[in-house]
Amino acid sequence: MMNKGVLITGTHRSGTTWLNSILMKSGTFANIFEYFPKQDVFDDDHHKLVWDDIYHLPKEEQEKLKKRLQEISNFTTKDFLKDLKSIAKFNKSFPKNLNRILQNYSAKLKNKPPLFKEPHGLFAVEWMEQNLGLETIILIRHPGAFAGSCKVKNWPVDFSKIYAKKYLLETHLKPFADQIEKFTEKEHDLIDQSILFWNISYYRVLQYMKQEQKRHYLKHEDLSSDPINQFKVLYDNLGLEFNTKVNQYVNLLCNSEHRIDIEKKGTSRNDLIRNSNAALKNWKNRLTEEEIQRIRKGTQEIAGHFYNENDW
């Protein structure tokens, strides 16, 4: 039985919401969904948490953050009332959101471990593990699929926010410092932005993989091609029971015969329903041949650690 919290991270468009939904079906966790972008610990914007190496924040700010993350992992009246207030203005979705909040705070009252879903928390993995005792799952997605998804969503990257984090540029992102600077000086198209962002993210993942720390590295494509068996393996590795209810839920989300391209929609549960195996190569329809070749060439050095010729 799982008795410690879990961190799900990777990049945006890597499948963290999908995985979060399936792990929550275990009934084991209290859900902490993308807290970093909504954090209220510091006065400045959330990129301070997303991109800084948290170890180099002042010690008092680290302690403040740790205390706040521990607070939201448990029931507090303040947070309960705050969440109720946040959904009050959404009349149509209020019943659904109220049910979600009640379920989640019920889990907190029962002291269930937290499930942190943080696609923006990739550079905070070690800090989250050491300070909150979390077990980490890192999702990896093919660079073509990542770029294709960003293209459909029209999600650019503001590299000026990354360039402002000098410590990262001098350490973990040093090989990319010059490129990041150039991307702040001149506008690049979304494909080039996706290439650079994928490279810096999964370069960091390669660094993590060299460490002895136990972590779960999951390729989005493996989960998509054989969801029942792959999620069962993950459940087993986490000490969770892959029961009939979970099996049926995975089948619902991943084996729909009618939903192949779902990424043009939002992120409600209905929008997570897909034929995951059939959707594996959707990115080839979203990208031009020139874009595919550009992505392949631009990511080959790092992507070669995760993908081979057949994956293109």
**pLDDT tens digit string along 252-263?**
888 866 444 444
Residue 31 covered by a domain: yes
d(CA 48, CA 39): 10
Residue 286 covered by a domain: yes
Residue 97 covered by a domain: no
pLDDT at position 236, please? Answer: 97
Asked whether the whole model's pTM tops 0.75, one would answer yes
pLDDT at position 167, please? Answer: 81
Range of the domain at 39: 6-74+111-311
What order do you get walking across the sheet with 216-219 strand by strand? 30-33, 114-117, 6-9, 135-140, 216-219
Residue 79 covered by a domain: no
Q: What is the DSSP string of the chain?
A: ---S-EEEES-TTSSHHHHHHHHHTTS--EEEES-GGG--SSSS-THHHHHS-GGGS-HHHHHHHHHHHHHHTS--HHHHHHHHHHHTT-TTTHHHHHHHHHHHHHHHHTTPPEEEE-GGGGGGHHHHHHHH--EEEEEE--HHHHHHHHHHHT----HHHHHT-HHHHHTTTGGGHHHHHHHHHS---HHHHHHHHHHHHHHHHHHHHTS-S--EEEEHHHHHHSHHHHHHHHHHHHT----HHHHHHHHHHHB-SS----TTS--SHHHH--BTTTTTTHHHHHS-HHHHHHHHHHHHHHHTTT--GGG-
pLDDT digits (tens, 9 = 90+) for 178-200: 999 999 999 999 999 999 999 99
d(CA 25, CA 4): 17
In this prediction, residue 36 has a pLDDT band, given cuts at 50, 70 and 90, of low
pLDDT at position 130, please? Answer: 93
d(CA 299, CA 302): 6
Tokens of 130: 């050491």
Return the number of other C-beta atoms located less than 10 Å from residue 225's C-beta: 14
- CATH number of domain containing 156: 3.40.50.300
> Closest Cα to residue 28, out of 240, 243, 284?
240
Contact (Cβ atoms closer than 8 angstroms) between residue 148 and residue 279? no
pLDDT digits (tens, 9 = 90+) for 94-132: 887 888 788 888 888 899 999 999 988 898 899 999 999
> Which of 29-33, 67-71, 91-95, 214-218 shows the lowest per-residue confidence on average (mean pLDDT)?
91-95
Residue 22 covered by a domain: yes
Query: How far is C-alpha 235 from the chain's CA centre?
Result: 18
Contact (Cβ atoms closer than 8 angstroms) between residue 204 and residue 122? yes
Type of residue found at 211: Q
d(CA 97, CA 41): 24
Number of domains observed in the structure of the chain: 1
Q: Is the dihedral of CA 41, 98, 18, 231 positive or negative?
A: positive
Residue 91 covered by a domain: no
Residue 98 covered by a domain: no
Residue 116 covered by a domain: yes
Mean pLDDT of the chain: 86
Contact (Cβ atoms closer than 8 angstroms) between residue 143 and residue 295? yes
298: left (phi over 0), alpha (psi -120 to 50) or beta: alpha
pLDDT digits (tens, 9 = 90+) for 167-177: 888 988 999 99
